[in-house]
Structure 1
Amino acid sequence: MSNKKITQHIITDEALHAQAAIPYQEFLELKQELLEKQRAMEERLWLDSNLSKFDEVIRLNYDKDMATFAEVILEYLSQIIQAVHGAFFVVDNDEEVITAVAGYACTVKTMEKSRFLFGEGLVGQAVKSQKLINVDNIPTRLDSSLAHLSNASLVVSPFIFNQMVYGVLELTTLERLPNKYIDLINRCSQSLATALQSIINNQKTKTLLQESMQQSEELRTQSEEIRQNLEELQAIQEDMHRKELELTGLVQALDSTLAMIEFDLSGHILNANQKFLEVMDYNISEIKGKHHRMFVETNYAKSEEYKEFWEKLGRGVPQISSEFQRYGRNGKEVWLTASYTPVIDNNGDPYKIVKLAIDVSERKKALFDFENQMEAIDKSFAVIEFALDSTILKANDNFLNTVGYQLDEVVGKKHRIFVTPEHAESETYQNLWDNLRKGEFQRGEFPRIHKNGKEIWISGSYNPIFDSNGKLYKIVKFVVDITHLKEKTNKKSPVAID
């Protein structure tokens, strides 16, 4: 049967030769040439088809992270060439380091070696020489990422674009690879180079964008802190609430609203706005170049506290939202609510001090007058404060001496400890507190009970106290002891209100 087929084949060739009318040997050579061209065409079609599929794999996975992208590429190529092991490396040309990011039939952690320097091992040599390396029948362990495999075939292909290596592909098979597979790997490596360059550039762009966003967030946070500090400073002014403004608008608003002066780090005056000059009653030519100590009391200017104040500012430590006593022209006393803020340069070092201030001299004067008046009242009257439910909040010494109690014996107790039990249950007593809770002022002479049980008489008033919103929140009682007057007249005065 076999001989018959051979005979028929020979006849067919001879028949073809006869038709061709050329020498038989030339005919055989022509036939062989045609067969080789056919095989070359088939291999080219196979190569083009697989390259087209490979480009599609790249396109579909282009936007994934590096490790995922590398795993997909490894698996696709390993299946085509029937590899038993593979590794995908990325090249850091700045550090001259080659690092594995994915593996086939292994992980980066289980690789024999996952990091190479340029020129180190076959992976490093492929990068250094920028050439594909193919080693067949490996007899012993090589310096690569693969585990020990006897008689294996190894291909190490660098990804080259514009004479720059961006990555390396290492594949291991149990049999020697045909040339068409080597060509496929080489061509795929070229496509991978451009893809990897784009991925790396995209990652760098993403990193730069993230850094830029982080810096923007830090600047936004710093801007918010400055805005909050300024709001705290401006909150001292009645009904002044400011929103965050653009930097130029904020500087203009500050200059027209606040007294502002600038110093060098040692305390010498650099500049001051008109508001500050008006408050201190100076011209700019009279203070520029002089030291801040011209605004403070002489002894304070010589103190360690004053020295430390400027040392802290020189180190960049702000002095914020405090009240300072200062002196203008001819010893004019001025009270300022102010902040001393170090201004930082691009290197993070302070280079000048900016003081923002509000003149609170009139408010301070009114506060001193009020405190003096309250001190006089405290010395002259017995004073006690109650919550709206008659719970005692506090009392001064005059009141405690009048009723014979210590402060801790009355705070938290009810007012009724100063009256008889019968009177505490009376309608008159209930009306007293009902009217007070309505915000009605009560005045008169009242009998009360001393701690020792004796009756005493006081004259004074119960005063409802309202908060800034007009809401009643406590009762303050001002009285004087008139027991001695009652004893002299030896009769009871009628009680107006109790």
Structure 2
Amino acid sequence: MNLNLRFTISWKLIIGFGILLLITIITNFLIYKTLNDNLNQNLGVITEVYTPSSAHLNDLFWLVTQTKILIKNWVYIERKDDTPDKNRLQELHSRQIPETEAALEPLVEKWDEKEQEQYRDVVESIDSLVQMHQEIMGELNSFEKYEDMMVTFPIYIKTEEDGDVMVLTKRIKDKLEHLINHQEKIIDETNKTMRNSFTSLQRLILIMALLMIISVLLIGYITRQALVNPINSIKKVIQDMGKGVLPRKEIKVSTDEIGEMSEALNLLVNGLKKTSEFSLKIGEGDFKSSFQPLSKYDVLGNSLILMRQNLKKAAEDEANRKQEDSQRSWAAQGLAKFGEILRVKADDMEEFSFRLISNLVKYLDANVGGFYIINDDNPEDVYVELMACYAYGRQKYLKKRIDFGVNIIGQCVQEKETIFLTDIPLEYIKITSGLGADTPRSLLIVPLKINEIVFGVVEVGSFNVFKKYQIEFIEKLGESIASTISTVKINISTAKLLAESQEKSERLAQQDEIVRQNIEEMQAAHDEMRQQIKEERQKNAKLSQKYKEKIQGIEIKLKKQQDKLTKQEISLRGNLDAINNTLGAIEYNMQGEVLAINERFTEISGLEIDSILNRQQTQFMLKERSRSEQFKNLWNDLNKGVSRMIENQYFFDGKEMWLKETYTPVKDEDSNFYRVITLVSDITEKKLQEEEENKENNANSSKKS
């Protein structure tokens, strides 16, 4: 029988790779066996038994230490019932110590017998310690028991450092510490065993690697001797590819196995060229370029597609993050800018309104805006009033009064909610310029409210659609604007009341002078009449009766004038009482010395009247602020008769406070300024909130940098 067996390239490769595969399988098996033994025998014991055991023992050690401190507090310090320390000790006895012991029970069963006996001894000792604590707690269960030496003396002996309770506590801690050290020693020994095992594994891997290298060299040598000439071209291509160079021409394909290899290599080269081109496009940021992997199993191609998707998503996320940072920075800068605008003193509501709406329209890059406030001067006729507008071009807004619920503005005030429109009626509003007029694309109407109380409305229109962050910015700014409107209204009302009070005081003084002159005239007339009556009583009886009637008329007139003065005085006192109940008031001389204060100011400062009177204003301020040019300019203006409104920082009894102050100089009879009346309101909470927001904005800016 003649058997013609052909030892083809396929068989040679099968045998060679079979040997490599066998070595690989043996190596992987030994590695798996070593790792599995360590995981099951060593790592499992550490993670499932000894590590949690050590942690729970440490917890138990700490709980016992706490009971030592708490029982001493119970005996020596905490005499009242239901104190935090007493409740804590009861919680340790009733819940935490039993829970920790319960958590240790399943783990203790996996210890050796000696450790289990030691732990059982610790548990029994802890039970005894808890029993001692319970006895002490039961004996000292009321305040009166602490005063009874017959009760406290034996307990003091037990809780001293050499007493039964302290000795037993120390013994328990020593035993727990011994168990903890033993557990940690076992963990260290197990880790050492694992390290030794892994060292042996490293040696085994090194030996198998050397064996694999030798096998590869041997197989390579045999293959080289059998296939040198046919695969020279393939070798050259592979060497070039190993250097990262792809051949420009395809390898010639033959009809044998080497030909099949050449064809496969040509496919691989073409695929790598496409992959390289695709990678370059991804590196250039072209995430839309098309690419087809060699197959669904093409790891490199599929990885590149996944990388393109991840890079595209990362680029989008980075763009979104930058946009969000920009929006936050924009909002923070806007709040800071309008905070400065709102802090400027405003006695004219229309001027304040125009300054605010014009800056707001410009900052939002909008095109038109209107500023409305709630006019409640007459409580029986409250309505919305247009105070200022910017770039308006519609006839309907020549009418400044809008009732609640009427059109969109009235609806916004009534519902107290923001209204955002993108579908605006053609005739509702127009944005005008020198080239014509057109309807805006979006309209935003935001109520200015604090604590659900609406003080006004801001209306802004733009050719661009407002973004969500812009709407949130205006809503947040609306709270500060509402607060400022409230303060401005109060200041204007206060200034008006003060002016009326001064005018009434002057008028009362003039009327007093008139009454005094009338009294003198009446007295002179009365004396003259009496003299005439005395001299000509019988001759002028009718004339005497006439003078009596004249006297009675003057007395009636004087009584009416006195009644009118009394009513005016009551009205004036009512106005002053309203001011004193609402705002703090302090009176200075022109040198800044405190002459008088009201009760409201003592409530704000937290100081008694005697600790403030006859003291300089600068004694309650930082030296740097009292010596500043701003403070000197304040008093220079006051001495010139100029009213001022500022925000000032004080320290009353070490406590920092911010007050919003309105200074008004007062004249004497010679029209010289001799004192200053100051009305104050507490803005400390608002000021601290602004500082927190500024810190947060600075932190965000630092993160961005």
TM-score range for the pair, normalised by the shorter chain length: 0.3 to 0.5
TM-score normalised to structure 2 length = 0.32
